[in-house]
Structure 1
């Protein structure tokens, strides 16, 4: 049995597991993401891998990272919170591990996980969106994952949703992530009410017709529907899948479908709206699938 060490690097934590070839978890753990600025993330991955290397006779290391990355070289062109990745090759930084290393964007990993073992196994074309601190996206078209130049394909969170602001401030104020991410929704509710709520608490309040949160949640669902409609009109996929904690709330897809019908009824006849099968393991499962396909 071959085993692999698989990392899902996030802005706040690094989740990692020893998996077999079918993504069965043999051992797992997590740690806070090291502070950025002096490359501690690389030392953490090297030290952790060396600890597991002999115990499990690892065949390789697979990484899911929040970055636009060249999967062949490991070079990162753009990253969010884990800024130590930017302008460096992750593969070269991890060469001391002494094992094959493959790296892929986190949203692309979630997309690959759904294609391999999730809710898109029968799809030839679909889009996967992860809704959290921002909105990540993976685009799978005509049987292939689309990465685009510099790995920037699928960065749906940067899609501009309004033209009412000055052009030089649109990315800060009017992107899909700004208007449709869970973090920004919760922050807007906090600024309005002074309450720090979880996504689950907020949707529960909304479902109980709490007027103090109603407007912000309605605007959030509107943004998700508008962004989804734009993507459907561009790509016409068989499915759009949503991931992230808020997508697990009861009735989430109903809220989106209701709005899509208002935008243009024909949309719901083009594309099925669904949620991702994989949750916290999505990045790791997809990273392993990418590793296997790359070696």
Structure 2
């Protein structure tokens, strides 16, 4: 049996697992993402990998990383909150480990997980949107990921949603992310609540909550409509913890029906099959494809 060490690196935590070839998890753990300074993220990855090399014969490293990456060379053009990655070649930085290394953008990894074993197995073209601190996007067209120049395709969170106010506060990430939704609730009520508590109160018709959640779904529907008109994919799949809420996809479908009913005859709206393991599953699938 081959063993792979698979990382899902985010701004808050670094999740990692030992997986077999079929993405079955043998061992897993997570640590807080280190502060950005002096390449500390690379030191962490090397230390964790060396500790596993004492226990497993590893066949390679697969990484899901934020931002725009050159999946062939391993160079990172842009990496969001993980600034230690920017302008660095991850394959070269980890060469000291003596293992094959492959990496891919985190939203692309989520899309690959859905293509491999999830809700996009039968799709030739689809879009995957991951909702969290911001909105990540992956575009899968004509049987493969579309990366665009410098790997920047799919950065839909940077899409402007208000032409009269084209600033960072008017982007898809700011208007349609979980972080933005909870922050707006805090500004209105002074309460810091979880996503679960938010939706409990939404379904109890708490008017302070209802207005903000309805606006949140409105923004997701508008963004989806724009993507449907540009790409006409078979599916748009929503991921991230909040997408696990009951009737999540239905809320977006209802709003798309009011925006332009024809959208729903072009594109199916659904949620992703995989949750917190999507990045790792997709990273392993990418490793297999590259090798």
Q: TM-score with structure 2 length normalisation? A: 0.99
Q: Secondary structure at the match of 2:11?
A: coil
**3-state SS, counterpart of residue 162 of structure 1:** coil
Per the TM alignment, residue 136 of structure 1 is displaced from its structure 2 partner at its CA by: 0.3
Give the equivalent residue in structure 2 for 1:194: 190
In 2: Cα distance, 1:3 partner to 1:79 partner = 27
Q: Distance in 2 between matches of 1:70 and 1:91?
A: 11
1:163-219 CA-to-partner distances (Å, cap 9, x unmatched) read 112x4xx1x111100000000110011011100011111111111110111211111
1:97 and 1:191 map into 2 onto residues whose CA distance is 47
Asked if 1:274 corresponds to 2:273, the answer is: no
Find the aligned partners of 1:279 and 1:160 in 2 and give their Cα distance: 27
Alpha-carbon distance between aligned partners in 1 of 2:185 and 2:38, rounded to the nearest angstrom: 35
Unaligned 5+ residue runs, structure 1?
A: none
> Secondary structure of the equivalent of 1:121?
coil
Aligned to 1:28, the other structure's residue is in SS state strand
1:140-155 alignment to 2 at 5 Å?
140-155=140-155
Q: Which residue of 2 aligns with 1:160?
A: 160
**1:81 & 1:246 partners in 2: Cα distance?**
21
Q: How far does residue 54 in structure 1 lie from its aligned partner after superposition? A: 3.3
Q: Which residue of the partner structure matches residue 49 of structure 1?
A: 49
- Corresponding residue SS for 2:275: coil
Matched, 1:254 2:250: yes
Q: Which runs of 4+ in 1 moved over 3 A?
A: none
Q: Distance in 2 between matches of 1:134 and 1:202?
A: 18
Aligned residue number for residue 233 of structure 2: 237
Q: CA RMSD in A?
A: 0.8
Counterpart in the other structure of 2:5 = 5
Q: Which residue of 2 aligns with 1:16?
A: 16
Structure 1 residues 1-295: aligned runs within 5 Å: 1-165=1-165, 167=166, 170=167, 172-295=168-291
- The TM-score normalised by the length of structure 1 is 0.97
Aligned residues: 291
Distance 2:111 2:72 in 1: 18
Query: What SS does structure 2 have at the residue aligned with 1:104?
Result: strand
Q: Which runs of 5+ in 2 are unaligned?
A: none
